[in-house]
Structure 1
Amino acid sequence: MKTPVIVSLALAASLVSLSASAEFAKSEDAIKYRQSALTVMGTHFARLGAMANGKLPYDAAQAARNAEVVALVSHLPWAGFAPGTDKGRESAARPEIWQEQAKFKDRADKMQTAVAERLLPAARSGNLDQLKAAFGPTAQSCKACHDDFRRR
């Protein structure tokens, strides 16, 4: 039963990644794109955190849906960090993103892995304790990138 959902998510992520890798007409467009993707991802991740921390009632179906959105959207923002997008629109991105591309990519990859291998299966399990156990380490993978590459 989960196979169609997994295949659908994989196909959607592939299609979105292909379209996101296209160049943006203006650096402002790239910045807006990445900020929008990060906002969507953060919103759905925060909902999972609220459930894991008891600030929202646990709803297994909602947890699974939120984790699926996070998993899909976790592949999007990176295309918006193209060369030349370090200036322009108000941004929390630090210059180190463009100076330390390998480290930045590594942080993004680690977050995507944590989401795909820990958070998503835990949210789909229907078990709050599994969600709680997966949420913290996944949040740490987000924080690691923010600590190095995001202005406070």
Structure 2
Amino acid sequence: MKLKTILITAASVAGLCSALPASAQFQKPEDAIKYRKAAFTLIGTHFSRIGAMAQGRTPFDGAAAAANAEIVADLAKLPFSAFVDGTSGTDKGTPKANVWTERAKFDEHAKAMQVEAGKLAVAAKANNLDTLKLAFGSTAKTCKSCHDSFRND
């Protein structure tokens, strides 16, 4: 019985630690802003490389598409923890205040993007341009949907 109590206590402490607010990761709001901008810049760079292939602007290279899609899927997990209080804005490209007033909806958009980015990584491994195009389009729609709802024009 004592071991069970220790395990339950350890699991509870671990759960509490993982549930700490994301803001604890950043000393200042500016740190959170820099972090998410950097993550989105990298996502955009690698996603654009896939888009160039999907749109026929550059030749299709299955290995490059797969490598870039894997990076996008990994990076898609990063920026959303940096949407902390005090980091909205009114300038172009900044998050609207409704990120925080409609947080559940925002989180749904973030999760949808992460899921589609994962599907893109799987599709890119198929080494088939048509499969890549479909997955790229679906992923792009999730990005646009979030931008339309939560990003200042």
Does residue 142 of the first structure (1) align with residue 106 of the second (2)?
no
Q: Which has the larger radius of gyration?
A: 2
Q: For 1:93-138, what per-residue CA distance to the aligned partner results, in whole angstroms no more than 9, with x for missing partners?
A: 111111110000000001111111x211111111111101111111
8 Å CA contact 2:54–2:136 kept in 1: the answer is: yes
Aligned to 1:109: 111
1:139 corresponds to which letter in structure 2? A
8 Å CA contact 1:28–1:89 kept in 2: the answer is: no
Aligned to 1:10: none
Change over 3 Å in CA distance of 1:25–1:103 after alignment to 2:
same
8 Å CA contact 1:52–1:58 kept in 2: the answer is: yes
Matched residue pairs, number? 132
Change over 3 Å in CA distance of 1:49–1:87 after alignment to 2:
closer
Normalized against structure 1, the TM-score is what? 0.81
Change over 3 Å in CA distance of 1:77–1:130 after alignment to 2:
same
Aligned to 2:54: 52
Gaps of 5+ in 2: 1-17
8 Å CA contact 1:44–1:69 kept in 2: the answer is: yes
Change over 3 Å in CA distance of 1:87–1:27 after alignment to 2:
farther
Superposition map of 1:12-31 within 5 A: 21=22, 22-31=24-33
Q: CA RMSD in A?
A: 1.9
Report percent identity of matched pairs: 50
Normalized against structure 2, the TM-score is what? 0.80
Aligned to 2:125: 124
Q: For 1:1-27, what per-residue CA distance to the aligned partner results, in whole angstroms no more than 9, with x for missing partners?
A: xxxxxxxxxxxxxxxx9xxx5520110
Aligned to 2:80: 78
8 Å CA contact 1:31–1:89 kept in 2: the answer is: no
What's the CA shift for 1:84? 2.1
Which whole-Å CA distance do the structure 2 matches of 1:87 and 1:43 have between them? 23
1:99 corresponds to which letter in structure 2? T
What's the CA shift for 1:91? 5.3
Which whole-Å CA distance do the structure 2 matches of 1:133 and 1:63 have between them? 13
